[in-house]
Structure 1
């Protein structure tokens, strides 16, 4: 069996506290993604959870990253938290029309994070999974059914080649630990997210697809605490085992409040023998500020 590939990165990239600590002093905001992409092999886009983005934004993010870079994209909370996966056909069309396909070959897992109040309902899940496009061509066909929330002049309804799309589900209710629910995810080829949430929500380490999506929100305090050397050793071992079993592994640190995330990610990469893509040679450019759709809490 061929081993899977491990990518380690961060959840979002624009945080004021990181400036002058992880990001070099004077680095302009417009270069922050470029800098992060020189250190990590992947980043999660979180602004897409809060609002529909634009094709121009996705295209710019793709252009600012190396050829082998991959983005995970977080699905909209309107679908997961407001509609709670029911009657979401048009909302899904709007999401994919908003520019996701502009990432091209850099589109990685699409993450669907469920609210803590949403219990596992096999019927609801089955209907939702059936609507999810599994290729970029299918996503483009779905995107063509968008409504006025995505105006025609802001919609992207064509795919840059036909590629598979992976989907992952982050759950926050104990009912999803049922083996029957996990079997349902396996049948529909949906990856269950391995979410370390300081014990607040379930930690599921079941493999339900050909990839594993790991989100490390903090071992002791949600979004705040860092990971000790022993904890990082543990996660390095888990990631290596999943990859040895043939799964691709995507790991994102989300403990950003005290700037632990980027440094924990680098420490995990070191344990796994993963090298950084390389420096981008950015120069300080003080005073440049950019619109920031990605900073809000996950």
Structure 2
């Protein structure tokens, strides 16, 4: 017997949301989309998606409503604000949030949504960037009830190569914060390394290949080091402001837990310094500019 695919709603058609929705459509899922800038939905509508005018309307057409939004404040507005998800939510529906948010706020919002509507919440932040979203190779870390995860596991596997249940609501966000701590600190060290190699007369474009397979190797090294060495900062695949937001989230949460994160705190300050110099909307590969000599022509 042929199984019936769940109908999906998706809010947040940005750098990550667009390719994720394109994969869902390619997998055959009925998809309804909404975005604060409606024009960004155009390529999805052309590919067969239905577009609605409000987030609340997503619930009329979808068993599962998915979010991929900028930060905690935006998610709160889209879910609980005027014409938000809460106004259309029904008991038994499921919200899956791919955004990277504050763990404590996620737990509060999940409890509020359940109490008001009976709609359950899975926090399911992702790692892998735009490249991973396009290829369907994201790592997805999930917080929430396992029975709710099983309802959408096949959907998530259309988007990622790995889906891991980390615990109750908020556990996915804690895991994503840990992920971003490693990624951001790694990116800053890679920037230091490239700048040091350049100032020493070493061909920095060879660093990634030279270290491949060794203990210093990583996906960020293989992606960022060549970009930094070539000063190849376009196209923007992710934003400095996103890394800064996630670092601030990690530092705030660690403070709430009484846990020491001094390296992450320093990384947040360096990222804030870089962003304050006009790089908030730029790619993190631009971090190398912070460590290059002022008269560098690289």
Same fold (TM over 0.5): no
Q: TM-score, normalised by structure 1?
A: 0.28
Higher RCO (CA-CA < 8 Å; seq separation 6+): 1
